[in-house]
Structure 1
């Protein structure tokens, strides 16, 4: 599990464009990947040993200035194999083809994977919250959104919640978070829209929205959005096949960010509302992708 989690943290660092010297906290990562702090601590130790992070006693872990290769080159995990099997399981789950519960022997045989590969895939799925180990027998897969209608409903809930979060009297977006969000959007506009994987694109969007909602100072907004993001994950991955709309989304994210930094939260709230409405409109255009 340590290698798989370390690879996810590495992808998070790379995909978010975290600057050299950025403080990486175990608590934030534990919440993001839905695991306890213990495996996060082990993964951080591994990343420090590989030069991705610097560990300072009594201070924690910080992004290193060393030039780092890919997760595969670091020997963290065979990401291509794991990702391919992950998406095969996701598609089968969306189509109701998985038995519930499913034994590890069944999964190993069906997807022609080694025990180590299966453990890495199941660890990732468990961290994302759509499967859990059954005591003594296999794995159960949680109900997930399977129709375009249900995906649109989640956006309508977000439309009610997210703009309101920006108007909380306790709202405060710190400069470090804002800079991190901007770097991630600019990276996509500079070419990563075409080269990033579907899950990386999904995580970028999730990170942006959770970052600006998390600044509300009201944890209930963030918890509600995180729950929605969990159940829409699989259909969101499928929607990434059509990437034409992502340039507009990035530009809208940057506009919202600029307004928040200027403390024009009313305007930012309206811009976020328009952004989510555009996304709902786009769902109609990609409906064939979501229903295939």
Structure 2
């Protein structure tokens, strides 16, 4: 599996993906939610980026972008000397892969995870907090943990896409559908970043987050809480298999072009055509996943 970059590098990726201008505020809790980690590593990363003069810290206000992030995040991190492997994120992916391979039991104790992966107590806490926040493990009443029901087979990932194929085009046809201009521009910036090199350099987590935010943003435009809640739940449980499917990235350029087409249609109010384009897009993704199903198998 790909080695996950440091939290600081992921923040740089997020700044670049979102196209944030100089002066943008970077709230720690927002970053923690987006990167699905606790605030402690986020605060450490923000302080590091401030030390490198990419950010500036204002008393009682937090951190703000001081310099434009123009280089690819990975290259900038290397230039700044902050590209060392993030142990917590690396172990997170090892646990995910071992779970998908059936090497970890459904019920486990924190001490077992700590010993198996050679973690310090602080690293263990960070890893378990991330896993719990993503919903694929939870504390048992009393003592110990249990892995939650989640997608662990290639067939289940394909089934999740068939569900999305039924729901997402319909969401674009909801009465009163509206996608705010700033949301459209944010999504466009993310796709352009990938087409300009991010497909090859972004982490699996960043790629997954970009795809999730795009599709959830479009569904949120429906204003229908049933559509929105269902798609969020599907995205949450398909995360691990999605990470594995990202070992094969050749299809991403086509994905980006289809996403940009969808944004153009929605911006012009051509929702019927957008719904059809969404059906074509998800159908194409489904076919591509079927072709690489061997990657998804233990």
Q: Scaled by the length of structure 2, what TM-score is found?
A: 0.81
Residues 223 and 44 (structure 1 numbering): CA distance in 2 closer, same or farther, change over 3 Å?
farther
Q: 1:183 aligns with which of 186, 189, 192?
A: 189
**Secondary structure of 1:277's partner?**
helix
1:264 equivalenced with 2:270 (yes/no): yes
The within-5 A match list for 1:42-53 is 47=46, 51=50
Alpha-carbon displacement from aligned partner over 1:220-263 (angstroms, at most 9, x marks no partner):
21111110011111111110011110000010000001111111
Counterpart CA distance in 2 for 1:144 and 1:214 is 24
**Cα-Cα RMSD:** 3.3
- Counterpart of 1:218 in structure 2 is 224
Alpha-carbon displacement from aligned partner over 1:102-156 (angstroms, at most 9, x marks no partner):
1111101101122222222212111211112334423221121122211111111
Alpha-carbon displacement from aligned partner over 1:176-212 (angstroms, at most 9, x marks no partner):
1111111111111111111111121111111110111
Counterpart CA distance in 2 for 1:105 and 1:41 is 22
The higher-RCO structure (CA 8 Å, 6+ apart) is 2
**Paired residues of 2:179 and 2:267 also in contact (CA < 8 A):** yes
The within-5 A match list for 1:40-189 is 47=46, 51=50, 64-67=65-68, 70=77, 80-189=86-195
Note the residue ranges of structure 1 that are not aligned, 5 or more in a row.
Answer: none
Residues 226 and 54 (structure 1 numbering): CA distance in 2 closer, same or farther, change over 3 Å?
farther
Q: Scaled by the length of structure 1, what TM-score is found?
A: 0.82
Residues 45 and 109 (structure 1 numbering): CA distance in 2 closer, same or farther, change over 3 Å?
closer
**Paired residues of 1:6 and 1:44 also in contact (CA < 8 A):** no
1:21 deviates by 5.2
Note the residue ranges of structure 2 that are not aligned, 5 or more in a row.
Answer: 1-5, 70-75
Alpha-carbon displacement from aligned partner over 1:11-38 (angstroms, at most 9, x marks no partner):
5444433344556678976875779xxx
**Paired residues of 1:33 and 1:128 also in contact (CA < 8 A):** no
- Counterpart of 1:196 in structure 2 is 202
**Paired residues of 1:151 and 1:235 also in contact (CA < 8 A):** yes
- Counterpart of 2:20 in structure 1 is 18
